[in-house]
Structure formats: structure tokens, C-alpha cells
């Protein structure tokens, strides 16, 4: 499919979600650090860290850090296993989550765009009396191979949904659009807008989220 058709579909998808964005119940930010370091021809170290705010930037209520090993099966497929430790601020104090993770990646390089899809299984163990859970996450990312504006920014769009296998329900969906740019061969930053939908007590609530990211990538993308 030509690139302009893919971006037209993405634009239409964003326009259909604008009423949700206008009626969002909260605003916040999500700041990300990503490391992909080549160890040899097949193996990579993957590290991530994240801080999330709500009520604009007033309340930093969630964060995590993880470490993972990724094995490249071929130019399209890769598998990954790792561990994430997350922290959630509750009225009663900070709750820690211990999260082993397993993922399968697929990517395709077109003439004008790059597409990747990640399937992740998370085993979520909580400190205290919270119920342990198993969750499936699916993320798709479409990235242009062309830049825009004199700043040579690269447009991207992401969609990710979260399915709780323990309770058999879809309870989170993210739609993100933004731009990125490589500072150097290995360092990249990104800036985007995310419409985040999450189910609380059987009702969907939405948030407008500013997304930022810094990446170190030792890998030919």
C-alpha cells in the first residue's frame, strides 16, 4: 500500500478519536528511556525506564525500569525475555509490581515506511493484597522512511491495546502520533500526543498525554 494511503487511514483514525480527546478526564505526561545495545550478531540487551504523571505534571504516580535479552531470529522476527519492576503511587502508599515478560517481535521494511508489531505476555505479581494477573499487550508502530519540515523530523503513529487474561477483558488502549529525530547515529528523541483510554469500574475514561522519549539504538533500523 502506498505511504500516502497509510497516512490517510491513520489521519482518519485520529479524527474519529478527537471527540474522545476533547472530553478527556485528565491530562498527563509519559517520559521514556529506551536502550537497544547489540551484544553480537544475534543477541541484544534491551533496557527501558518510564515516569508517568497525571493532573498535568503535578503528580508523578507511576514508573518502571526493566532489563531484557533479545534474540534476533532473522531480519523480520525476534524474541525477548526480561523483568520489569514497576511502582504505583496509591493513597495508602507506593505499591511495587514484579513483572517477568516475554515478547515476540515482527517487522517489515517497505519502500517508504517501516512497520513493527510486538506481542508481549506479562506475569504481574503485586506487593500486598492486590490480585496477581496475566496480561497480553499488542503494539503496532508505523514509521515513515521520509522526513518532514526543515528540521527533518520523522513522523510515526503507534497503537497498543492491553488485554487482561485473568479477567478476560480489554481494559487499556493507546493511540499515539508524533515525530522523532536522530541527534546522532545512535541517539534519538521523540515527541508525541497520546489518547489513552482505560477502563475503571466498568467505565472507560480517557486522558490526553504528552509523550517524550530518548533512545540509544545500536542496531540498523
The CATH code of the domain that includes 165 is: 2.40.160.40
pLDDT of residue 199: 92
**Tens digit of pLDDT for each residue in 8-42?**
555 555 555 555 555 667 899 999 999 999 999 99
Q: What is the pTM of this model?
A: 0.88
CB 43 within 8 A of CB 51: no
Q: Which residue has the higher pLDDT, 44 or 220?
A: 44
Place of cell 495508602: 92
State the total domains in the chain.
1
Average pLDDT over residues 105-124: 95
Gap between the Cα atoms of 82 and 99, Å rounded? 9
Average pLDDT over residues 114-122: 97
Gap between the Cα atoms of 69 and 71, Å rounded? 7
pLDDT of residue 12: 57
State the residue range of the domain holding 109. Answer: 3-217
pLDDT band (50, 70, 90) for residue 1: very low
**Tens digit of pLDDT for each residue in 50-108?**
999 999 999 999 999 999 999 999 999 999 999 999 999 999 899 999 999 999 999 99
Gap between the Cα atoms of 70 and 58, Å rounded? 36
Listed residue (2, 20, 5) closest to 175, CA to CA: 20
Amino acid at each position: 500500500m502506498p505511504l500516502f494511503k497509510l497516512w490517510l487511514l491513520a489521519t482518519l483514525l485520529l479524527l474519529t478519536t478527537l471527540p474522545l480527546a476533547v472530553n478527556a478526564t485528565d491530562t498527563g505526561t509519559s517520559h521514556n528511556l529506551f536502550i537497544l545495545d547489540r551484544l553480537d550478531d544475534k543477541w541484544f540487551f534491551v533496557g527501558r525506564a518510564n515516569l508517568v504523571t497525571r493532573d498535568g505534571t503535578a503528580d508523578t504516580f507511576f514508573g518502571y525500569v526493566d532489563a531484557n535479552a533479545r534474540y534476533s531470529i532473522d531480519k523480520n522476527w525476534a524474541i525477548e525475555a526480561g523483568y520489569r519492576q514497576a511502582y504505583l503511587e496509591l493513597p495508602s502508599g507506593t505499591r511495587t509490581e514484579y513483572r517477568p515478560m516475554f515478547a515476540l517481535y515482527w517487522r517489515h521494511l517497505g519502500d517508504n515506511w517501516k512497520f513493527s508489531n510486538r506481542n508481549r505476555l506479562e506475569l504481574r505479581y503485586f506487593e500486598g493484597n492486590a490480585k496477581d494477573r496475566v496480561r497480553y499487550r499488542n503494539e503496532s508502530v508505523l514509521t515513515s522512511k521520509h522526513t518532514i519540515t526543515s528540521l527533518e523530523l520523522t513522523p510515526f503513529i503507534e497503537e497498543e491495546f492491553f488485554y487482561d487474561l485473568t479477567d478476560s477483558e480489554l481494559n487499556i488502549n493507546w493511540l499515539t502520533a508524533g515525530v522523532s529525530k536522530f541527534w546522532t547515529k545512535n541517539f534519538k528523541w521523540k515527541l508525541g500526543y497520546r489518547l489513552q483510554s482505560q477502563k475503571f469500574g466498568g467505565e472507560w475514561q480517557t486522558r490526553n498525554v504528552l509523550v517524550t522519549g530518548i533512545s540509544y539504538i545500536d542496531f540498523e533500523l
